[in-house]
Structure 1
Amino acid sequence: MKNSRLVNFPEQLKELREEYGVTQTALAQGIGVSKGLISLWENGLREPTLSNLVALADYFDVSLDFLTGRIQD
């Protein structure tokens, strides 16, 4: 079984946020979490819950696979 950690997620989240021109504060308000939590995710210090991943994917209108940087063999 492969490591299931979200290795690419921090970079992907930050790139998406910057591409959309959204601040950490605005994103946090948009999905109902704290700005500090967004920062922790972007710095790879915490991993989001499934419900947070879904909220982020909905916010940016992307798939969970895209958001998490998942690559299928």
Structure 2
Amino acid sequence: MEGFGQRLANLREKSGYSKKDISIMLGFTANVFGTYEREERRPSLETIIKIADFFDVSLDYLIRGKEYQQRNQPLSYQLNQLVVRELLEKGIEHPYFLQKDKWKQLSQADIKELENHFEWVVKKAEMRDKKL
């Protein structure tokens, strides 16, 4: 976590608190936060989350030094490969939902209609399974 201690120091300085103040506010002993700033000690994941929440920053920023940026990839790239393989094994002959050029043609209303239809089909299948 290169630079982690420096990021902690910067956040603390911006907040106007001392290392001791932050240690106490986070429920640590008086000098713990300073050991994290000096990178003498590594905090647990739970502690990193607590620190991120305290300073209202993302874990990505705290650990890696950069904010998370969601990739704007088409739905076909976001689908898990295992799930896709399982769907294709079910016998889907024309998997249009994997073709990004098809998705580009759809409006937000079209996508919402697909979501609603999918939910309806799933509920119908659940009801059928309950009867069996």
**1:23 pairs with 2:18:** yes
SS in 2 for 1:33: coil
Structure 1 stretches lacking a partner, 5+ long: 1-5
- Aligned length in residues: 67
- The aligned counterpart of 1:3 is none
Amino acid at match of 1:20: S
Amino acid at match of 1:13: L
Q: Give the whole-Å Cα distance in 2 for the aligned partners of 1:68 and 1:49.
A: 12
- The aligned counterpart of 2:30 is 35
User: Over aligned residue pairs, what C-alpha RMSD do you find?
Assistant: 1.5
| Aligned residues with identical type, % of pairs | 30
- 1:26, CA displacement in angstroms? 1.4
Query: Deviation per CA, 1:4-42, whole angstroms, max 9, x where unpaired?
Result: xx1111000000000110111211111111222111111
- 1:69, CA displacement in angstroms? 2.9
TM-score by length of 2: 0.47
- TM superposition outliers: structure 1 runs of 4+ over 4 Å: none
Q: Give the whole-Å Cα distance in 2 for the aligned partners of 1:11 and 1:66.
A: 12
1:46 to 20, 41, 48: 41
Amino acid at match of 1:59: F
Bigger RCO of structures 1 and 2 (CA < 8 A, at least 6 apart): 1
Q: Give the whole-Å Cα distance in 2 for the aligned partners of 1:68 and 1:8.
A: 8
- The aligned counterpart of 2:104 is none
Query: Which of these two proteins has the greater Rg computed from alpha carbons?
Result: 2
Q: Which has the higher helix share?
A: 2
TM-score by length of 1: 0.81
Amino acid at match of 1:46: R
